[in-house]
Amino acid sequence: MAGKGLNSTGTFDANWKRHLNNNRYHFKRGKPENQIQFAFQNHWRVFRNLLGDISSGQVLEVGCGRGSMAAFFAAEGFDVHLLDISETALKMARMNFTVDGLTGFYVCGDALALPYPSGVFDVVLSIGLLEHFAEINQPLCEQVRILKPGGVFLGYIVPEKNLSVQTLFLPINMALHLGYTIYGGLTFNSRGLQNAKKIPLYRNSYKSNDYISTLYALGVEKAGSFGMFPLPLISHSPNFPFSLMAPFLERGLVWLWQLLLTARSWQRGDSWTCTEEWGLAFLVWAKKGKDSDAEG
């Protein structure tokens, strides 16, 4: 994550340090082996479709964490910059990129004062960042500022919600948590994967319209949104950072999720998108006008 104005900056860094070994289950080439890999591959497909004719260039992931989404851009041939305020997170991202044979530029920096000149990136994105700010104008302003004219903004947001596909499956996750507490063995701990204590995080409750109106006020040419992640995360410990279950359970869930997405293929648009109310998250996108000046 990134941003000194982030209500949870210290909390995020503490969580990253507690889960330094929980690092290798997001980016995956080929067939996904768990829920998170499946989700990120679907995220990438949706993101890629929103880029339009942008097929190369400079990409920045703000609040990169492990660098999971940035890895998909790097694998596609984009020049990727990864920014986070946590040195621990950047260490994890660097390790992941090295293992996957990817290259990137790593910067420890603040989302409220991005250390880049105006108008230099073709794509600026974040995953699970903006919901952790009590005020969203400044981080959005900075991301629009550094976009080139014609550049694309992508903000994947997981807000505080009282009702969604995730909350409807809360009883199942609570039962799994109880079972794990009593019996254990529902997660794999090879390669040092553990279930370290998780520290609660602040999330705002802004709707997509709040982000869109702010983006238009900042001068973008077009903006829109839609719900994403129409399926629940199933785990004895689904809170950030998500804890995987045993490999055979994860593979079974991936099979079931793919079946459910196939059943949703009748809908207009991508089967990974949905209403904002139903989805675990929503995506806000914007395009900076080609006639915009460098200051945005």
The per-residue pLDDT of the chain, averaged, comes to: 86
Total-model pTM:
0.87
| Tokens of residue 77, six digits | 């041939």
Q: Is the pLDDT of residue 267 over 80?
A: no
Most confident among 233-242, 247-256, 265-274 (mean pLDDT): 247-256
Strand spans (E) along 101-218? 105-108, 121-127, 147-157
Residue 11 pLDDT level (bands cut at 50, 70, 90): low
Q: Count other Cβ atoms within 10 Å, centred on residue 248.
A: 9
Entry field: residues in the chain: 296
119 with 46: CB under 8 angstroms? no
Q: Which residue has the tokens 């499956």?
A: 169
pLDDT over threshold 50, residue 113: yes
> What's the rounded Cα separation, in Å, for the pair 128 and 262?
26
Cβ 200 vs Cβ 160: under 8 Å: no
Query: Which pLDDT score is estimated for 180?
Result: 74
> What number is the average pLDDT over the span 87-98?
92
Distances (CA, A) of 119 to 32, 105, 126, 142, 292: 36, 18, 17, 11, 9
Q: Are 182 and 137 within 8 A, CB to CB?
A: no
Residue 26: per-residue pLDDT: 83
What letter does residue 138 receive in the DSSP assignment? H
Q: What is the CA radius of gyration of the chain?
A: 18
Cβ-in-10-Å burial (0-12, 13-18, 19+) of 82 comes to buried
62 contacts 2 by C-beta, under 8 angstroms? yes
- pLDDT, average across residues 38-48: 97
Rounded Cα distance between 168 and 149, Å, is 42
Give the CB-side neighbour count of residue 151, counting CA atoms within 13 A. 27
Domains in the chain: ranges and CATH = 9-162+200-232+269-288 (3.40.50.150)
Confidence at residue 176, expressed as pLDDT on a 0 to 100 scale: 79
d(CA 261, CA 21): 31
The contacts of residue 101 (CB under 8 Å, 6+ apart) are none
Which pLDDT belongs to residue 144? 98
Out of 34-48, 153-167, 193-207, which region has the weakest mean confidence (pLDDT)? 193-207
